[in-house]
Structure 1
Amino acid sequence: MLARKDAIRVKKRKVDLVVISDVHLGTFGCHAKELLLYLNSIKPKKLILNGDIVDIWQFRKRYFPKSHLEVIKKIIDLSAKGTEVTYITGNHDDLLRKFTDVEMGRISLVDKLVLELDGKKAWFFHGDVFDASIQNARWLAKLGGWGYDILILINRFVNWCLTRMHREKFSLSKKIKNGVKKAVKHIQDFEQVASDLAIENEYKYVVCGHIHQPQMVRKVNKFGTCLYLNSGDWVENLTSLEYHKGRWDLKHFNKEEYEPEVSEEQDFKEMQNLVAAITITSKNR
């Protein structure tokens, strides 16, 4: 199995705290295999799942691959071996908010979290409360989520073709976001509102997800300063946040570090599955 092989091959790094968000298990765009490789490489004291881990909005009975299930098993396995796991609910898994404050062993379910890290307060929450489209037009947000899922699938197919031609990959969604002033302003506003609230409440760190925009930046206003952090996602950016020995790091997954040799047959089979996924999705809509 992928998990067992890589657990043996990769030396586990000890980390005080790891934050991941926006995994979207149960969708075609989710990079579950890559996330599993990453989780197998670390030994965290605390693991914070900052929302949209399982995508209940886009969940399909016909699509929940073994690799997606392996991620859930790995998280449970980490908790069984001593890692404190906190699942913070997001908008795509908001049905879980009915069970807020439930604890199962070392796994707890919350809507937000405040921790003290080396004497500094850190505020963790998903971030959908700042998104007007989620609060006022849920149906529109769901439609946008489906369109994003299809866009990511097409992008992966395009990048597969580019790789075969030895050309550089690119992100369709990032190109669209960067080309639309409204989308850029939405991201900037999101960061500013989160940071201003953190400063107002005397939090030194504010840690979000939701907008699929990995970031670590110092924010300042007339009342003070805080470090704004966003863990990104495991759909296109493949990023996580790590806090160890008083320092934050934004980690970008690099597949070559985990499995330097990928056979042409494996690569082609994965691409066939993606094409089949696009076809299935189109027929079911």
Structure 2
Amino acid sequence: MKHKRKIEISVISDVHLGTYGCQAKQLLTYLNSISPKKLILNGDIIDIWQFSKRYFPKSHLKVIKKIIDMASDGVEVIYITGNHDDTLRKFSGTAMGNISIVDKLVLNLDGKKAWFFHGDVFDASIQNAKWLAKLGGYGYDLLIVINRMVNWCLERFGREKYSLSKRIKNSVKGAIKYISDFEEVASDLAIQNGYDYVVCGHIHQPKMLLKKSKQGETTYLNSGDWVENFTALEYQFKRWKIYNYQHDKLSPFYADEDIKEMEMTDLIAAITIVDKKVI
């Protein structure tokens, strides 16, 4: 078994378990490579909007089982609700052992204040027309499936992979403006409220940048997603960094052989029967 990297905090968001776009195997490899004190799940981990009994593969169940196991082993797991898992907001403030559910979070990190939230509160399309946002979610999921087929063909011909959704986001002025506005609004609010860090998800755009205004400054951070970018945020030695699975990944390994060998029925049983260590 290979040594795991010890870090203070790992932040992941926008996993979208239960959708075709979710890259659960890569996420599981990442989770098996780290030993954090805190694991912050910053929204849209389980995609309840697009949840289907017909599609929830074994690899997705393994991610849930892994997170529960981490909590059992003493990792503090904080689930911040997002828009695709907003059903969980009725349980906000609930804690079960090392697992807690919140809508937002403030932490003191080495004398600096960090503000965590998913980010959908800024999205007018979700607040005012939820059905339209859901329709967009289905379209995005379909685009990812098509993209997988395109990339399979490209790889067969020795070509580099191509992201259709990134191409669209980077070429549509409205999408670029939305991302820019999101970053500005989050940063301005953080500065006004005296937060040194503002940590979001939601827009699937990993980012770390210093934002300044007449009132002060803050560091804006976005954990990206596990659909296209395969990114997380890590805090260690008083510093933040963006972990990128495709660039930073270690040699492939699978630390938890017990999860690897489990059958689907065993995984479901392990998830639904609460581990005594968690309570």
| TM-score, normalised with respect to structure 1 | 0.87
Partner of 1:110: 102
| Equivalent residues of 1:35, 1:71 under 8 A apart | yes
* In structure 2, C-alpha distance between the alignment counterparts of 1:183 and 1:116, rounded to whole Å: 33
| Equivalent residues of 1:122, 1:205 under 8 A apart | yes
1:49 aligns with 2:41: yes
* In structure 1, C-alpha distance between the alignment counterparts of 2:237 and 2:106, rounded to whole Å: 18
Q: 1:135 aligns with which of 127, 132, 153?
A: 127
SS at match of 1:129: helix
RMSD: 1.1
SS at match of 1:228: strand
Partner of 2:199: 207
Structure 1 residue 154: Cα displacement: 0.9
* In structure 1, C-alpha distance between the alignment counterparts of 2:65 and 2:75, rounded to whole Å: 14
Q: 1:257 aligns with which of 228, 250, 261?
A: 250
Residues 93-102 or 162-171, more deviating: 162-171
Q: 1:193 aligns with which of 160, 185, 192?
A: 185
* In structure 1, C-alpha distance between the alignment counterparts of 2:154 and 2:210, rounded to whole Å: 36
SS at match of 1:254: helix
Q: 1:64 aligns with which of 47, 56, 61?
A: 56
Q: Which runs of 4+ in 1 moved over 6 A?
A: none
1:227 aligns with 2:227: no
CA deviation string 1:103-128 (max 9, x = no partner): 01000000000000000000000000
* In structure 2, C-alpha distance between the alignment counterparts of 1:165 and 1:217, rounded to whole Å: 37
Structure 1 residue 164: Cα displacement: 1.7
Percent identity reads 71
- Count of residue correspondences: 252
Residues 160-169 or 113-122, more deviating: 160-169
Q: Within 5 Å, which residues of 2 pair with 1:14-163? A: 14-163=6-155
* In structure 2, C-alpha distance between the alignment counterparts of 1:66 and 1:169, rounded to whole Å: 25
SS at match of 2:87: helix
Structure 1 residue 60: Cα displacement: 0.4
* In structure 1, C-alpha distance between the alignment counterparts of 2:20 and 2:172, rounded to whole Å: 25
Mark the CA change 1:31 to 1:258 in structure 2 (over 3 Å): closer, same or farther: farther
Please, which runs of 5 or more residues in structure 1 have no aligned partner?
Answer: 1-7, 261-285
